[in-house]
Chain A
Amino acid sequence: MDISTNTTAPPLPAQPPAAEQKRAARATTRPGDRIFLGLSRGSGIFLLVVMAAIAVFLTYRAAVAISKDEANFFTTFEWNPTGSPPMFGIAVLAFGTIVSSIIAMAIAVPVSVGIALFITHYAPRKLGGVVAYVIDLLAAVPSIVYGLWGILVLVPKLDGLYGWLDDYFGWTGILSWQGGAPRSLFTVGILLAIMILPIITNVSREVFRQVPQMHEEAALALGATRWEVIRMSVLPFGRSGIISASMLGLGRALGETMAVAMVLSPLFDIQVSLLDYGGGTFAQNIASKFNEANPLGRDALIASGLVLFVITLLVNGAARMIIARRKEYSGANA
């Protein structure tokens, strides 16, 4: 909640000139420096103001909604803000959002790292360039197109995979299948994985490309094979970069709206099996309910948006902690 302290930011623009005058007395400030200082400082302040405005907006409207909620906002499996009494909760949405994102990450991160390594360390230079270009194209496809492809092409082809998973892993409970349309969180996860693949691949590729030659040669000179070079030099050096890349991907997966809304068969309930249709995500739920919602309904949706906002903040914070914890081994001080 300390974000709200930033709401005191607006008076700030009045201060910089005063501070600048003091500095001018010490050193001659050239116009170029002054303009650039003003621009960069202004951009920084602008960002903080926007973040604060979003946080305040979400918090205020969410508070209105939650105060009228007759059920527990966090544990209720129901979304009925128009009923009397109004009852709604985010349990289903949180479950759906987190589970589909985990599935997406589990698929996308290893594949992306593999592609990035292929481009930078295995493929001949020309082929690597072609693959990198195709990945860039993949990033430019709008999410609505992914949604169309998902519902028209991917979903009809998944019966076979679902049947196979049910046959061999159905005993786990979470991968059993009752035979409904494969418009489940699992399918959403697959689709999200494809959507976040380009960003994770591109960022990892850049990081792998920056591994200093001397670290790779250190491993080579010890008699390391190509895979051992990657294991000893490239992956450790790229570790924090891979985490950052994954977080960017995760951010997109958590917030993806249209593609999920088109593929997922909405049913406001938590299915034990990932393969059975039903469930929902924050973004999908907001998109599909916002137009028909009454004022309280809209506030309720905004409250769910606030939860998504907080989850994203937590995920980013956790990633930063992971990166910081091994900072002295990061290679940054080499």
Chain B
Amino acid sequence: MAKRIDVSGLNAYYGSFLAIEDISMTVEPRSVTAFIGPSGCGKSTFLRTLNRMHEVTPGGRVEGKVMLDDENLYGAGIDPVSVRREVGMVFQRPNPFPTMSVYDNVAAGLKLNGKYKKSQLDDIVEKSLKGANLWNEVKDRLNKPGSGLSGGQQQRLCIARAIAVEPNVLLMDEPCSALDPISTLAIEDLIGELKERFTIVIVTHNMQQAARVSDRTAFFNLAAVGQPGKLIEIDDTERIFSNPSVQATEDYISGRFG
């Protein structure tokens, strides 16, 4: 199921403002790629171009190519809705549907995609919650509102919701930044398990986290405020954190910047 992402010459705009410029990279299937970089460098914007969520923002516009295996996500006649069914996303703040139960939250994406029998739904919901390491904590309260869970549980519920539809790629936009260290650890463990099945891209401000969970790390930076963000380099995580090839990367990682 996991697919390769191949981005070439990608620009993203907010209105006439060029937010990220000329980004090209490849993300291998069944791997974790982390995006790091200072705030405002466009890493979240870039992440949102990978499932066509960027254009939801008023004025949002994208140029360039994003290949998912052989399919250009920005090709003519590609429906953004079907792209988002193939590329799942987990957000910075846990956002389970507040009016739905735990069960309905997990089943929400499935109900959009087609008709399932109740028994099929039950199976997929259980499998997804187990996949998100949440099943044991919520199996007795599947019919309680999802918003009643703790923050870390809510985030794992969102992950369960995203993987329930078996996407090819899973995008995570700072998934732990609103969580305490223990919940963060739970999510990080989970990422390690999920990469067996999905291509994972994660934006993080926490460099230890990038070092812990990712196989590859991409460093983004911008020359100055008002300038577009750029991809400085992407390499094996180990190499980025020990011996990066660009000075700016080393400065950022070691805290010598600005």
Contacts and interface: CB of A to CB of B under 8 A. Distances in A.
A binds B: yes
Interface stretch (A21-29, A106-114, A218-226, A293-301): A218-226
A223 B148 contact: no
A214 B56 contact: no
Nearest to A332: B98
Contacts of B98: 215, 236-237, 329-331, 333-334
B51 interface: yes
B113 interface: yes
A239 interface: yes
B97 A215 contact: yes
A330 B88 CA distance: 26
B91 interface: yes
Nearest to A222: B109
A287 to B, nearest CB: 43
A214 B82 contact: no
A223 B147 contact: no
A220 B109 contact: no
Given A221-B84, A223-B81, A237 B89 contact: no
B99 interface: yes
A228 interface: yes
Contact of B108 (A125, A232, A239, A330): A232
Interface in B94-122: 95-100, 108-109, 112-113
Contacts of A326: 99
Interface residues of B, number: 31
A329 B108 contact: no
A278 B191 CA distance: 71
Contacts of B84: 220-224
B53 A222 contact: no
B93 A222 contact: no
A223 B110 CA distance: 10
A217 interface: yes
B95 A214 contact: yes
Contact of A223 (B56, B112, B145): B112
Contact of A333 (B93, B147, B158): B147
A92 to B, nearest CB: 42
A225 B93 CA distance: 22
Given A223-B109, A228-B112, A232-B97, A214 B53 contact: no
B147 A236 contact: no
Contacts of B99: 236-237, 239, 326, 329-331
A57 B81 CA distance: 61
A224 B109 CA distance: 8
B176 to A, nearest CB: 16
A328 interface: yes
Contact of A220 (B53, B82, B161, B165): B53
Nearest to B101: A329
B43 interface: no
Interface in B71-95: 81-86, 88-89, 91, 93, 95
A217 B112 contact: no
A333 B97 CA distance: 11
Contacts of B81: 223-225
Contacts of A333: 98, 145, 147-148
Contacts of A328: 145, 148
A59 B87 CA distance: 65
Interface of B: 51, 53, 56, 58, 81-86, 88-89, 91, 93, 95-100, 108-109, 112-113, 145, 147-148, 158, 161-162, 165
Interface of A: 125, 212, 214-215, 217-225, 228, 232-233, 236-237, 239, 326, 328-331, 333-334
- 5 nearest A-B pairs in the assembled complex, by CB-CB distance: A223-B85, A236-B99, A331-B98, A221-B89, A334-B98
